[in-house]
Amino acid sequence: MTDAIASFYLRVRPDGTALYANRQCSITPVLTLEEVQREDFPARIFHPEDVERLLEKRNETLARVSLLN
């Protein structure tokens, strides 16, 4: 079903490691599942000024979700 979406869909572990990438991610060779599973993926894909903020927001969201469980 996620392959039918016209945008990128990544399913990641709490540490940010990719578990799954939909077909849209593999349209470009840079976004194969193997590439998004690399530790340096965010730094390679996002603008350097955005990486730290992105990771902070992810960690904040994960902390909130864990409080709900």
Residue type, 69: N
Residue type, 31: L
* pLDDT level of residue 69 (50, 70, 90 thresholds): low
Each residue of 19-36: pLDDT tens digit?
887 776 665 655 677 777
Q: At residue 8, does pLDDT exceed 80?
A: no
| Tokens matching residue 56 | 């902070």
Helix (H, G, I), strand (E, B) or coil at 18: strand
Calculate ∠ Cα 62-53-66, nearest 5°.
5
Q: At residue 41, does pLDDT exceed 70?
A: yes
The top-scoring range by mean pLDDT among 6-15, 22-31, 46-55 is: 46-55
Question: By residue range, what is the domain housing residue 26?
Answer: 2-68
Contact 22, 3 (CB under 8 A): yes
Domains identified in the chain, total number: 1
